Amino acid sequence: MSQTSSISSDAVGVQAPSRRWWTLTTVALAQLMVVLDSTVVNIALPAAQTDLGFSNGERQWIITGYSLAFGSLLLLGGRLSDLIGRKRTFIIGLIGFAAASALGGAATSFGMLVGARALQGAFGALLAPTALAVLTTTFTVPKERARAFGVFGAIAGAGGAVGLLLGGFLTQNFDWRWNLYINVFIAIFGIIGAAIFVTSVKRSGPRPKLDVPGTLLVSAALFSLVYGFSNAETDGWGSALTWGFLAAAGVLLVAFALWQRRAAHPLLPLSIILDRNRGAAFSSVLIAGAGMFGIFLFVTYYLQISLHYSPIQTGLAFLPMIAMLITAAQLSTNIFVPRFGPKIMVPFGMILAAIGMVYLTHLDLNSTYADDVLPPLMILGFGMGSIMPASMQTATLGVDRRFAGVASAMVNTSQQVGGSIGTALLNTLAATAATDYVASHLPPSAAVAAQAAVHSYATAYWWGAGFFAFGAVLAALLFRRRGQGLSLSTPRTSSTEGVDDAAPVMAH
């Protein structure tokens, strides 16, 4: 994109500040729909299984079908938004996601439901990176950019918990199918908002080409990676299939990196991920994703199985965590990140999250919500609100406007892969801990089984705390000090063709 078109697009934004905030509302709505769909269906699974008559072994494919398509196609979706235009891609993604959701809601068989979920994942892979790319190229004034990413980061962090609450409400009061139909209504508002408020920017110069070999390599690599961890969750780490797919993922990722070094039109220029600050940001999102999925998974198990909460009560139990996450996201992006930078704020959030995880290890069968569950959830919420917006903003800062979509896709890919790793690894560790507990407390009984479950959750929390502690050290080491790298508050003073001229970039 030429310097002229870049400046003209920024000028449009400057002339209409209210339009930018309506754009944020539209983008946030789409992001919420994609993120909550990773958990909203979980609570509906038992009802769907009864209705459609599929087995326990088949049940996992309702979740895996979505995550496989979503995870493996994210980089392609991000690049397509760069090639065919963000507004057009955004609207196509919304229409496709709504249609796939309607198909899933109307499913009359297991195969139809899995197919609809895979289609949801495919269009989600188009929608999620495009939403972040629209935000990246719309908000170029540092102060406004911080506020926008605060909102977006809060939604990315809280969407899973909102999904649990919404899923419980819809399943308990309506029908499991409404967990899918609800997306149609959200998408309609998103399409109207995108048509009115998202700005189209005309391309100048020749249309860039899609890197087909790179797309095939990275899509196959991400599919193998997500499938490998999903298989580990169900078949264990001793499965040959698990290690076969993980090994294939490693080989394919190496081949992809080598190809990107010589491709004429690379899908993902390696400079995007090799930049030290961006690498730190992508790593932080991955680690936070691994820990976050663990929080939702095991706290949900604990509340429903150990404390016998209903689905709606379980969803409501997460609301204070969401409130703290949103509060921290706004404080972080508006006050703390501009003052201290991600090198301080991301490790701070990781340490808080680790403390919250350690706090959760003390839960037992006699714990109460107000005294034992609420405080660690609030600590975790504040920690996640300090990690996500700063990491997401840094990951897309100063990126060549032509590659904003694929850089945004890397954020979503990091979170998706982190979630897959966290879910598979923590589930396996928890299951092993439960088995060992029962074996050492013979004869087995209902009381022993209940204690074994609580013990297994505590094991998962300890490992989750370890994830966040490692993330704190890694972020502290990798993020540059302020003034050495990508500044979150210093506007660019010189222009380079093809780069977002008004975006804050490197301060030398």
- CA-CA distance, 283 to 295, in Å (whole number)? 19
For 269-302, give the DSSP string.
-HHHHHSHHHHHHHHHHHHHHHHHHHHHHHHHHI
For the CA atoms of the chain, what is the radius of gyration? 22
Q: Is the pLDDT of residue 110 over 60?
A: yes
Q: Is the pLDDT of residue 286 over 60?
A: yes
pLDDT at 199: 78
pLDDT at 109: 92
Q: Is the pLDDT of residue 503 over 60?
A: no
pTM over 0.85: no
- Which candidate, 79, 75, 83, 199, places its Cα nearest to that of 139? 199
The mean pLDDT of 166-174, rounded to a whole number, is: 82
49 near 174, Cβ under 8 Å? no
Fold classification of 3-199+267-478 is Growth Hormone; Chain: A; (1.20.1250)
At 405, the pLDDT band (50, 70, 90 cuts) reads confident
Q: Is the pLDDT of residue 443 over 80?
A: yes
Show Cβ contacts of residue 490 under 8 Å, excluding neighbours closer than 6 positions.
142, 504, 507
Q: Is the pLDDT of residue 25 over 50?
A: yes
Show Cβ contacts of residue 215 under 8 Å, excluding neighbours closer than 6 positions.
75, 76, 79, 267
pLDDT at 380: 94
What are the tens digits of pLDDT across the range 186-198? 899 999 988 888 8
pLDDT at 120: 93
What are the tens digits of pLDDT across the range 83-92? 888 889 999 9
At 16, the pLDDT band (50, 70, 90 cuts) reads low
Least confident of 33-42, 303-312, 430-439: 33-42
Least confident of 23-37, 339-353, 464-478: 23-37
The mean pLDDT of 494-501, rounded to a whole number, is: 33
Show Cβ contacts of residue 406 under 8 Å, excluding neighbours closer than 6 positions.
75, 78, 79, 82, 129, 267, 268, 272
Of 209 and 195, the structure prediction assigns the larger pLDDT to 195
pLDDT at 478: 92
Q: Is the pLDDT of residue 234 over 90?
A: no
What are the tens digits of pLDDT across the range 123-138? 998 988 888 788 877 8
pLDDT at 496: 32
Q: Is the pLDDT of residue 323 over 90?
A: no
Type of residue numbered 260: Q
The mean pLDDT of 269-286, rounded to a whole number, is: 89
Q: Is the pLDDT of residue 15 over 90?
A: no
pLDDT at 350: 96
pLDDT at 408: 79
The mean pLDDT of 349-371, rounded to a whole number, is: 95
Q: Is the pLDDT of residue 502 over 50?
A: no
- CA-CA distance, 324 to 316, in Å (whole number)? 14
- CA-CA distance, 179 to 38, in Å (whole number)? 11
pLDDT at 12: 38
pLDDT at 482: 65
CA 500 to the chain's CA centroid: 25
Cα dihedral: 460, 466, 470, 472 (round 10): 100
At 206, the pLDDT band (50, 70, 90 cuts) reads low
For 1-48, give the DSSP string.
--HHHHHHHHHHHHH-HHHHHHHHHHHHHHHHHHHHTTTTTTTTHHHH
46 near 111, Cβ under 8 Å? no
Cα dihedral: 275, 280, 286, 287 (round 10): 160
16 near 143, Cβ under 8 Å? no
Peptide bond into 443 cis (omega under 30): yes
Q: Is the pLDDT of residue 6 over 50?
A: no
At 252, the pLDDT band (50, 70, 90 cuts) reads very high
pLDDT at 413: 84
Share of the chain above pLDDT 70, in %: 88
Of 52 and 141, the structure prediction assigns the larger pLDDT to 52
Judged on CB neighbours under 10 Å (0-12, 13-18, 19+), 196 is exposed
pLDDT at 159: 72
pLDDT at 455: 95
pLDDT at 490: 35
Domain spans of the chain? 3-199+267-478, 211-266
On the CB side of 243, CA atoms within 13 Å amount to 5
Cα distances (angstroms) measured from residue 133 to each of 61, 399, 406: 30, 10, 8
Average pLDDT for the chain? 82
